Amino acid sequence: PVTVYENQHQASKRVAERIATLIKNKQSLGENAVLGLATGATPVRVYEELVRLHKEEGLSFSNVVTFNLDEYYPMNPTSKQSYVTFMYENLFDHINIEKENIHIPDGTLSKEKIADYCIAYENKIGELGGLDLQVLGIGRTGHIGFNEPGSAPNSGTRLVTLDDLTRRDASRDFGGKENVPTKAITMGIGTIFKAREIILMAWNTKKATIIKKAVEGEISSDVPATYLQLPENTEFVLDKDAASELT
């Protein structure tokens, strides 16, 4: 299903409410809520609202386990552009999540260790009960996580090469495309598909063309987000601008 909101504030609030409801439902069962999280501009207001719910309405994250989708490779976690820094600044520093419940792919591993690490990351998600909810943004290449065009629908967590357009879109954060890492570790499309619920969010007219392809285009690895047309448990949450090219 596709839901279109007036603006990204309203949409983000709605997504944060869904996350909060999941966390509280799990709390009442004495279980953990396992969240798959994204970075980038898109989820910033969702995290802002979750922080507000924690500070003003007492929402507790003590039973929350998180797995981030991706991290650049190589990447030092203390670097300003790392997804570790992003997640702590935008969410984890402001809520009562247990540090050991946070999982973000490690951008510091030596090349030979990556394959085993990725299998372990994948297994860990399963051991902790599987993802209850995965939130996603979408890149202008149609990537979800860093699953660029050509990614297989059954792909797992792995090292990938970033598309040129993805690196260009990240160049502002890195002060030039040449400084953007050429690779990343990302959950696969198959990893994402195992989540019990998936929410893909997109805002602004600059996402309108790729959203049209993702929602209405032929399902193909050329636009990995088209795979999300298949599962029933996926919702595209859009603002009016991102939805403006939909028929």
Catalytic residues: 148
Does 106 help bind ligand F6R (rule: CB under 6 A)?
Answer: no
Site for ligand F6R in 182-241 (CB under 6 A): none
Strands 234-239, 198-202: pairing is: parallel
Which CB atom, from 39 or from 66, has the smaller least distance to ligand F6R? 39
Q: How far is CA 165 from CA 132, 169, 170, in A?
A: 31, 6, 9
Contact assessment for residue 72 and residue 83, using Cβ atoms and an 8 Å cutoff: yes
Residue 37 Cβ vs ligand F6R, minimum distance, rounded to whole Å: 8
Stretch that binds ligand F6R, among 38-46, 102-110, 124-132, 218-226 (CB under 6 A): 38-46
Residues touching ligand F6R, count (CB under 6 A):
14
Q: 133 phi and psi, to 5 degrees? A: -150, 130
Interface with ligand F6R (CB under 6 A), residue from 36, 107, 142, 145: 145
Which CB atom, from 107 or from 145, has the smaller least distance to ligand F6R? 145
E strands, the chain, where?
Answer: 2-5, 33-37, 64-68, 70-73, 102-103, 133-136, 158-161, 183-186, 198-202, 234-239
Closest CA to 74 of 186, 184, 173: 184
Stretch that binds ligand F6R, among 28-36, 47-55, 134-142, 149-157 (CB under 6 A): 134-142
Which CB atom, from 26 or from 142, has the smaller least distance to ligand F6R? 142
